[in-house]
Amino acid sequence: MRKTTTKLADGRELIYYDRDDRQLRDAPDRRPLEPTSSLAELRRDPVSGDWITVAAHRQGRTYHPPADQCPLCPSQGEHLSEVPAADYDVAVFENRFPSLDFDSAAAVRAVEDDPLHQVRPGIGRCEVVCFTADHQASFADLDEGKARLVLDAWTDRTAELSAAPGVEQVFCFENRGVEIGVTLAHPHGQIYAFPFTTPRTLKMIASADEHRARTGRNLFEDLVAAERAEPVRVVLAGEHWTAFVPFAPRWPYEVHLYPNRRSADLTELTEAERAEFPGLYLELLRRFDRLFGEGAAPTPYIAAWHQAPRRGGAELALHLELFTIRRTVGKLKFLAGVESGMDAFVNDVSPEAAAQRLREVAS
């Protein structure tokens, strides 16, 4: 892999990842851009204890541009995009409309010792990860070599961002489909470097710590072992990875992909684990696209890497959660009253039936 780091016209960082070690990336950004300014701030909800990001400047971000004006396609002729090169393998750059920014200009107005109105600048980083230069493709269309390159890019960014001052947790993810809320059609994901440990992760830590205190064992190691021992919910199993529908999923079709050997984050994966991942993951994505029958619209999904935070996550295990909000043909799972109001999920599909369906649509 060759990594080339450069700057966009407004000073944001752009990183190319290429399979060809000889590839040179020196095309300049010819756009007349003014420096960006983030006004993001973090406000703590005194009732839940959660940190909420307020980023009002994002209201003006790019929204469903026509394909010939896509900001993630390579620059060609007079079309100047976020990627100055005429082609690329994988490109990662700082989001022009970030929720978090190391140079956040937000002014902290609250008094430090006021427990009801705690505010912090939105320090952190938001990056865009372009998986391919092909506007019409999806992650599932990549070959295993390109999928491995994306994995290597995720790993490299995790290592660098985790070491940055103020970062507590790195989150790599992909939103796919307008139903999910994607505003750019080009195949891409994102990476958030949070200045706090996210609420979902804190709940996982609490469960893992309780399991350790009660059993003396690791929760995630026991979980993977139990699913492999009784594989009614296992969708795919390799030598180094296992994909299964969780016992109590929140979403109609939800799959968790774990390395069989517990790792804290992407940087701890072995070469054998990295080599096996692309084939398994691509097969999962292709099965998701076949879930609802031939001719159905592409399946909207979220793919989310859960990694241990910098502090307090010794019991956590790296894993990827893949789920769709589509529950059947032409119907979505909306987060209505009980889910949005009380965070109490109701699932319309049994996990065992979901696993069986995902086995049926194997390549």
- CA distances to 125, 130, 311 from 13, rounded to whole Å, are 11, 14, 27
Confidence band of 57 (pLDDT split at 50, 70, 90): confident
pLDDT at 295: 82
Residues 252, 351 contacting (CB under 8 angstroms): no
Query: Matching CATH topology for 2-196 and 200-360?
Result: yes
Confidence band of 51 (pLDDT split at 50, 70, 90): very high
3-class state of residue 254 by DSSP: strand
Confidence band of 91 (pLDDT split at 50, 70, 90): very high
Tokens encoding 233:
């919910």
Provide the residue ranges of all domains of the chain, joining segments of one domain with +.
Answer: 2-196, 200-360
pLDDT over 80 at 355, yes or no:
yes
**For 253-298, what is each residue's pLDDT tens digit?**
999 999 999 999 999 999 999 999 999 999 999 999 999 998 888 9
pLDDT at 113: 75
pTM: 0.96
**For 230-256, what is each residue's pLDDT tens digit?**
999 999 999 999 999 999 999 999 999
Average pLDDT along the chain: 95
Any idea which architecture 2-196 has in CATH?
Answer: 2-Layer Sandwich (3.30)
* Residues that constitute the known binding site: 70, 73, 135, 186
* Residues that constitute the known binding site for Zn(2+): 70, 73, 135, 186
Tokens encoding 189:
């994901």
Residues 6+ apart with CB under 8 A from 163: none
**For 106-128, what is each residue's pLDDT tens digit?**
666 655 678 899 999 999 999 99
pLDDT at 173: 98
pLDDT at 296: 87
Distance CA 51, CA 124 (A): 13
Is 240 considered catalytic here?
no
pLDDT at 60: 80
pLDDT over 90 at 177, yes or no:
yes
72 alpha carbon, distance to own chain's centre: 17
Q: Return the CATH class of domain 200-360.
A: alpha beta
Write down the catalytic residue from 64, 117, 188, 306. 188
